[in-house]
Amino acid sequence: MDEITQKVSDRYAKAASTGEQMCCPTSYDMANLQSFIPEEVLKISYGCGTPAGLKTVSQGETVLDIGSGGGIDCFEASRLVGQTGHVIGIDMTDTMLEIARRNAPIVAANLGYPASNIEFRKGMADAMPVDEGAVDLIISNCVINLAPDKRKVFREMFRVAKPGGRFTISDIVADQPVPQYLIHDTEKWGDCLSGALTLTDYIAGLAGAGFLGIHLITSSPWQVIDGIHFFSVTLTGYKLPATAPVSPVRYATLRGPFSRVVDELGTIYVRGVPQPITQDVATLLSLAPLASHFVLSPDQVRLDQTDGRWTAVCPPEVSCLWQGHFALLAGPFVEAADDDHHIFRRGEPMEICDKTLAVLETTGYEPHFAIINRASQSVSDQADCCSPDGGCC
C-alpha cells in the first residue's frame, strides 16, 4: 500500500472506531434506513451522495459497492435486490469491514432473509477481488477521489461490469485542477478534497475505460478552498453489450431542447434534422436519458417548430445580470448548444448570466448541468447584454 493510501486507511479506521462525523452532503432518508440498519452503521456513513441508481435496482441483480465502509449502501442494496440478489462490498480498511460484517446478519434478520445476501471482501479499488463481467450495477460513495490512480479504478469497474451493466457513483470533483500544494496535503486528501479530479477528467476517465451514456443524476456544492470549488456529483453510465442488439432504427432526429449536440461516439445532430446512425449509435441513443432527446426511427423524420415533439427554451428578450454562475455540462453529450449562442463542452465551466441560469433550470436542461457560483462577494447587479454582438436568442 502506498503512503497516501495507508494514511487514508488509518484515517477511516480511526473514524470508524470513534464514530467520528466526517464528510459530505448526502440526502438519505434516515428514518427509513433506521427501520432496518443498526445505528452503529448509520453513524459512520461517510458518503457524499445517495447513489440513486439503487432506486433502479431490480430484484435478483448483483450489486458491487466500491469502498463500502460501514456498509450503509450495501445494506440498502441488499433490501432492493431481494433475497435472490447478491451484494459485494469491497473495502481496504479492516475496522470498516469488521463493523460491516458484524451487522450483516442483523440487517438480514431485520429484512426477514434466512441469510445475508452480502459479502464484504477486503480489497483495493484499483485491483478488485471480483470476477470479470460479474456485476449488474456498480455503486460507490465518496471513495474514488481517495484512490491515487483513478484511471486504474475506472478500468477495474469496466472489467467487473457485465456487458449491459451500469454504474451509479457519487464522488467529489473540482471545477479546476487541484494544485500540488493541496494534492500533497494528506489531511485534505483524507477529507475527500485533494484527490478530487476535475469533472472533465473524471468523466474522461470513465469514458476512457469504455463506459458510455455517462450522465449526471445530482450535484451539490461542498466546499471552496483557495477559490477551488469542490462539489459532489452522482453519475451514471453503461457498459454496452458486446454486440449491438438488432434494431430497426436507422435515423435519429434531435428533438431539443439543445439546438445541436455531439454524442460520445462523435455523431453530430442538429435539432429537427434526421441523422443516419449505425447500430452501435442506435443502442446508445435508446438508453436513458438520451432516448428522451431523440425521435428514433427506421425512416427519416424531419421536425419543425410546429411539431409537438420539437422542444426549445429561449430566454426572454431582456437584459441579463452576471452574478457569478458557471454551468458545467455533465453529459450525456460531449458538446451541446442552446438557442442563445452558448456551446457547452462536457465538464468545462462556462460563465452564464441569470437569464441563461433560468433557461438551464427548466426541465429539459436541468438534469444535465452542475451549477456553481464563483462570486465570493456580492456582485453589482448592473444589467448587461449577454452576447458580444448584443443579441440574445
Ligand X SMILES: C[S@@+](CC[C@H](N)C(=O)[O-])C[C@H]1O[C@@H](n2cnc3c(N)ncnc32)[C@H](O)[C@@H]1O
CB of 330 to ligand X, least distance (A): 21
- Residue placing its CB nearer to ligand X in the complex, 28 or 310: 28
Torsion angle of C-alpha atoms 375, 188, 26, 165, degrees rounded to 10: 110
CA 285 to each of CA 63, 86, 262: distance values in angstroms, whole numbers, following the listed order: 25, 29, 12
CB of 284 to ligand X, least distance (A): 29
CA 289 to each of CA 13, 79, 282, 332, 335: distance values in angstroms, whole numbers, following the listed order: 39, 26, 13, 7, 15
- Residue placing its CB nearer to ligand X in the complex, 4 or 360: 4
From residue 313 to residue 332, what is the string marking binding to ligand X with x (rule CB under 6 A)?
Answer: --------------------
CB of 262 to ligand X, least distance (A): 33
Confirm or reject binding of residue 103 to ligand X (CB under 6 A). no
CB of 48 to ligand X, least distance (A): 8
Residues numbered 206 to 245 that lie near ligand X (CB under 6 A) are none
Confirm or reject binding of residue 195 to ligand X (CB under 6 A). no
Confirm or reject binding of residue 147 to ligand X (CB under 6 A). yes
Residue 173 and residue 222: Cα distance in Å, rounded?
Answer: 9
Confirm or reject binding of residue 142 to ligand X (CB under 6 A). yes
Provide the grid cell at 207: 469514458
Q: Please, what sign has the CA dihedral across residues 149, 68, 79, 131? A: positive
- Residue placing its CB nearer to ligand X in the complex, 67 or 347: 67
The region of 45-53, 238-246, 282-290, 385-393 touching ligand X under the rule CB under 6 A is: 45-53
Residues near 206 by beta carbon (within 8 Å), at least 6 away in sequence: 154, 157, 167, 214, 235, 237
- Residue placing its CB nearer to ligand X in the complex, 45 or 232: 45
**DSSP secondary structure letter of residue 384:** B
Q: Which of 25, 69, 237, 272 binds ligand X (CB under 6 A)?
A: 69
- Residue placing its CB nearer to ligand X in the complex, 45 or 356: 45
**By beta-carbon distance, which residue lies closest to ligand X?**
69
Confirm or reject binding of residue 141 to ligand X (CB under 6 A). yes
- Residue placing its CB nearer to ligand X in the complex, 124 or 295: 124
- Cβ 160 vs Cβ 135: under 8 Å: yes
CB of 366 to ligand X, least distance (A): 26
Q: What are phi and psi of 244, to 5 degrees?
A: -65, 135
- Residue placing its CB nearer to ligand X in the complex, 95 or 116: 95
Residues numbered 108 to 137 that lie near ligand X (CB under 6 A) are 124-125
Q: Which of 96, 204, 233, 370 binds ligand X (CB under 6 A)?
A: 96
Q: Which of 4, 9, 57, 369 binds ligand X (CB under 6 A)?
A: 9
Q: What are phi and psi of 252, to 5 degrees?
A: -125, 130
Confirm or reject binding of residue 356 to ligand X (CB under 6 A). no
Provide the grid cell at 335: 458538446
Residue 303 and residue 24: Cα distance in Å, rounded?
Answer: 45
Q: Which of 25, 53, 67, 205 binds ligand X (CB under 6 A)?
A: 67
- Residue placing its CB nearer to ligand X in the complex, 5 or 194: 5
The region of 92-100, 219-227, 233-241, 351-359 touching ligand X under the rule CB under 6 A is: 92-100
User: Which stretches of the chain are DSSP H helices?
Assistant: 3-18, 30-34, 39-42, 72-81, 94-111, 150-160, 180-183, 186-190, 199-209, 279-285, 354-360
Q: Which of 61, 76, 91, 175 binds ligand X (CB under 6 A)?
A: 91
User: Which stretches of 308-385 are DSSP H helices?
Assistant: 354-360
Give the number of residues in contact with ligand X, rule: CB under 6 A. 26
End-to-end CA distance of the chain: 55
- Cβ 138 vs Cβ 73: under 8 Å: no
- Residue placing its CB nearer to ligand X in the complex, 69 or 349: 69
Helical packing angle, 199-209 and 150-160, nearest 10°: 40
Residue 269 and residue 254: Cα distance in Å, rounded?
Answer: 6
CB of 73 to ligand X, least distance (A): 6
Residues of the shown chain interacting with ligand X in the complex, contacts defined by CB under 6 A: 5, 8-9, 12, 23, 45-47, 67-70, 72-73, 91-93, 96, 124-125, 141-143, 146-147, 192
